[in-house]
Structure 1
């Protein structure tokens, strides 16, 4: 259930831009992202958010929700592995954070928390996650 007014609005509504229907031969990812832009942000699943942020779609609208989820559970998992939402978020280009200093600070706090607990984690993706965290924190 959406927590605030922004969570009750879709990315299209927040951005004030509607996208046309995707082409009939569009990939699954393109079709799905078009659909997700019309769903209220608060109703998007971890996997929906992971997909959107990995495609750099609607980041202004979805980053507050993503970071709230990551503060609760830094290793929130979409369809791939624990922490895949954090990995997708840390891969955002640096310029996508420039006008969102408060969100960047929040992302850094989450990254620091995961880095501190990473020694207790196991899994094939942990070295990549630690590398991404260190790279993110050094920028």
Structure 2
């Protein structure tokens, strides 16, 4: 688990990870690559639900973005980016099992949010198998 600085939300993923991605040439990069590259430069406090959905779906910056996503989901479990109701939750639930195994406290926080709402989640037909497999209880 990474210990987060007090002002981590005022920093970008690039700054926090101390990793600057190389510049992209506009003709050889897809929309997704350009967008992710750009979002890595944005302060975390300025990321939208859609930004979180997109970056988490690409497994980028999870140790910094999952806590923000959990806060967003605490306010509204079915928060919506640009795709559909609950798209952020779907991205979070599909995060690789290794992340959840290494970050049990985040797994527990999310589990506490969803455990009483599994019927609603099931109706949305989200695949929660990666998340559930990490249940150690």
TM more than 0.5: yes
Greater alpha carbon shift after TM alignment, 46-55 vs 15-24: 15-24
Match of 2:12 among 5, 10, 13: 10
TM-superposed CA distance for 1:110, in Å, is: 2.0
Please list every run of 5 or more consecutive structure 1 residues that lacks an aligned counterpart in the other structure: 120-124
1:21 aligns with 2:23: yes
Match of 1:53 in 2: 56
The separation in 2 between residues aligned to 1:29 and 1:36, in whole angstroms, is 10
Match of 2:131 among 105, 117, 136: 136
Give the root-mean-square deviation of aligned CA atoms. Answer: 1.9
TM-superposed CA distance for 1:104, in Å, is: 1.1
Structure 1 stretches of 4+ moved >4 Å: none
TM-score by length of 2: 0.84
1:75 aligns with 2:78: yes
